[in-house]
A and B are shown apart, each in its own frame.
Chain A
Amino acid sequence: MNKPVANLSAAPTRRQALVVGATLAGSSLLVGCSLPDVLSYGSRVEPGAFGPFLKFDPDGTVTVLSKHIEFGQGNHAGLAAIAAEELDADWTKVKVEQAPANAKLYGNAMMGGTQGTGGSSAISDSWMKMRKAGAAARAMFVQAAAAKWSVPAAEITVENGLVRHAGSGRSLGFGELVADAAKVTPPEAPTLKNPSAFTLVGTDRVRRKDSAAKSNGTARFTQDVRLPDMLTAMVAHPPRFGAKVASFDAAAARKVPGVVDVFQIPSGVAVVASSTWAAKTGRDALKVTWDESKAETRSSATLAQQFRDYAAGKAAAPAKTEWKAFDAKGDAAQAAGGTAAVDVTYDFPYLAHATMEPMNCVAMVGKGPPRLVYGAQGQTLDQINVARAATALPGSVEIETLFAGGSFGRRSNFQSDFVVECVQIAKKVGKGRPVKLVWTREDDMRAGYYRPLVHHAVRVTVDKDGFPATWRHRIVTQSIMKGAPPGAPTAEIDFTAVEGSMGSPYLKATPVVDGQLLTPDAGVPVLWWRSVGATHTAYVMEHTIDQLARKAGKDPVAYRRALYQKAGAKRHLAVLDLAAEKAGWTAPPPAGWTRGVAVHESFGSVVAQVAEVRLENGAPKVGRVVTAIDCGIAISPNQIAAQMEGGTCYGLSAALFGAVTLTDGVVDQVNFDSYRVLRNSEAPTVETYIVPSAAPPSGVGEPGTPVIGPAVANALLAISGQPVLSQPFVKA
């Protein structure tokens, strides 16, 4: 049911790769079983009478079970609203609960059937599932009432949680009917509403259910878990990626009051204590000698120079790597010749996710099946990795998913790094005793899994009207997908490194294209970071287009319109027109401000932004940002706006300030004093406009992030006449 993402049908996505990893790991345990069976094996989760997504209480409360974690994106509200809409429930009586881990019941088709949250897929994957769940339950209530009142089901209506028979004047709430309704066989193909008849979905009544708990301190995060007899653990990690413990002296650490044990684990030395402060004090007292024989010792500046040399052809591709085409059209020699209108390179640094809640996890191992309580983003992947670490069956691993203090991609990776670390410690402690692993901000900042370092080289020649005739594009970056489990079939090209350049309407509108990717290895762990490939491709495509428009003496909006028409990119056109209209593009900006525009498609949605920018003390200050989005049917306009506001801040923070650098392999950034992030007074005022659509919903959590960087750069280009060819804009 999900709208296919343009041009990507043949490209393996990271979601499919997740499945590959899951299948491999699972098949080694239970050969011949399907993936969901493997991952549900041993699980105690059983759906209730109304299926895996809905529960009803006699007091009328409707509980929607979310298969997805809520870490800010507002999906809990959206999922609940979709079910409540088909159910005709009273929205004020709807609450949301986190579903347990069970891929069979809660798998995400957009992550190949594994349970997980990513790729802005929660709403789009759940759209039909939640509608069917709501409609089926509604039919069960109608059937139960019809039998109870001995009236035809067709004469029964449901409104605001009340089941009614107008003819006899009888009515009962869901709570009063639940015992009867639970006995009705659920219909296999319940009748769904026509979306034009929706009364809740798409209205401003769809609001968050967790705002009160998150404003009074009661929302429960991993950091807040307190269990009887629980121990707190911290780990001393090596200063360089790839280093191992050579030896350690725990004498001083063991003398710290409250320290219970000190031992080595694969990722470092763990200190286990009765309190967080004791664990930290104990860890600070550790003396560890590291074996750095296999450590990454290069500086990020060295890596960046190597990437530039590869792209410029000054250095041959390193062993076991080769240039791979992500777009090839016409004669490549032609793209290297002629007179270039724009011939530029772009550099992007490593970026930390820097979630407000550093990584953490609670695990109980050694008594019954392993049990974990934490902010799980990739439940299935974590079950597989935990099972391996704890010697258990993946399906037996129980996960209680809590709220997480942000993720932006960090809480799900192929190794389940911090989750496995916690399990290794809990296994050593044993007896099922709860262990809470706490990372400090410093641990979190320096643990890697960054948005990769990226280099682009772009050379474009134009036709007589100033539009691209040939487009030569080189991308050099570490591959995120190379982190997939060993033995996983490798895709032809790492889609996460090129998405956004690959599939761009600008390349579609260009007759000759030579686009290639090289993915050299480095010892720095890399990972998806809110909007993934678009974090850099959107910038490169959109800033290049403004340079071309400027060269052609054309208005950037008019120039884009012409290219979108050529490429048949109707949704791009619609968001561009809406943003330009709402921003008053054709009228002069407020005195002192300069406008920049950018448009980008990611995760099935298209976003256009017009940013008003001025220089304050030499640094860009962003004021008003007009945003237009086409995300299919809008479930919660309020939360779509929230994601545009937040996504814009996240992208702007990176474009202005974000950089993780390494000196001789050691990460230079330590905390928020050296990893600068956007603060309140630096935040723009974002206005959000939604393009009306009848298409199924697409992503919202990520598409708001990649557009602001190029929109601001394009305003800076208009101010100074100079392109901005590296991020961050504000150097440390």
Chain B
Amino acid sequence: MPTTVDVNGRAMNVNSPPDTPLLWVLRDELGLTGTKYGCGVAQCGACTVLADGQPIRACQVPVSAVGAAKITTIEGLGGTHPLQAAWVRLDVPQCGYCQSGQIMSAAALLAANPRPDDAAISAAMDGNICRCGAYQRIRAAIKDAAAAPTPAAPGA
């Protein structure tokens, strides 16, 4: 049964079966492939998107459960978010596969806590695995973005 999901500020019609995880709806049906599959069991964070500003693991949410929540994906940050600028400034990515999820988790963190300390960064980012081990630069880039003049709200 077709349903409608608000993704990046647009109402999108979805025809996937209702038990399909949001991750695969975003990737296979809507073509928003910036959100990645990494584990399918909410252990790695590669599929992190925002639902009404809160980070969720899209692999764990059936599309039928999204309801009226406003979903923001990496594509919805627009490429100009202070975190994305910091990621480029510090050359954070290596293979890059996990970085959409890393940035979405960080975006939710900065929206709630514009000047996070190390403990807050650890709490927000430990759910996002990076096998290349870019952790040091991820942490530095979050601090760099937090120090930037006007951190934008995610999805803004």
Chain A residues proximal to chain B, CB less than 8 Å: 71-74, 207-208, 210-219, 221, 223-224, 226, 232, 257, 275-277, 354-358, 403-406, 408, 440-442, 638-639, 642, 645-650, 653, 671-673, 677-681, 683-686
Contacts and interface: CB of A to CB of B under 8 A. Distances in A.
Interface string B32-47: 1111111111011010
Contacts of B122: 680-681
Contacts of B96: 72, 210, 213-215, 219, 403, 405
A406 to B, nearest CB: 4
Contacts of A441: 38-41, 44
Interface string B2-33: 00000000000000110011001001110111
Contacts of B17: 257, 277
Given A214-B96, A226-B33, A645 B131 contact: no
Nearest to B41: A671
Contact of A645 (B28, B98, B137): B137
Contacts, number: 181
Contacts of A684: 136
Contacts of A214: 87, 93, 96, 99
Contact of A680 (B20, B73, B125): B125
A165 B29 CA distance: 57
Contacts of A358: 37-38
Contacts of A639: 91
Most A-side CB within 10 Å, residue of B38, B84, B91, B137: B91
Contacts of B73: 217
Given A216-B74, A679-B126, A680-B122, A275 B16 contact: yes
13 contacts: A211-B87, A211-B92, A217-B34, A223-B37, A275-B29, A276-B27, A277-B17, A277-B28, A405-B98, A441-B38, A642-B94, A645-B136, A680-B135
Residue with the highest number of chain B CB atoms closer than 10 Å, among A208, A211, A216, A441: A216
A217 B93 contact: no
B36 A683 contact: no
Interface residues of B, number: 57
Nearest to A212: B88
A219 B79 CA distance: 12
A553 B153 CA distance: 59
Given A275-B29, A355-B131, 4 more contacts: A217-B100, A642-B91, A650-B131, A679-B126
B132 interface: yes
B133 A648 contact: yes
Top 6 A-B residue pairs of the complex, sorted by shortest distance between their CB atoms: A217-B34, A649-B133, A405-B97, A214-B96, A72-B94, A72-B95
Interface residues of B: mostly helix, strand, loop or mixed? loop
B129 A215 contact: no
B28 to A, nearest CB: 5
Nearest to B39: A441
Given A211-B88, A275-B24, A357-B36, A649 B43 contact: no
Nearest to B44: A672
B145 to A, nearest CB: 11
A219 B100 CA distance: 10
B95 to A, nearest CB: 4
B146 interface: no
Contacts of A680: 121-122, 125-126, 128, 130, 135, 138-139
A671 B16 contact: no
Interface string B93-110: 111111110010000000
B135 to A, nearest CB: 4
A107 to B, nearest CB: 24
A277 B23 CA distance: 10
Contacts of B133: 645-650, 653, 678, 683
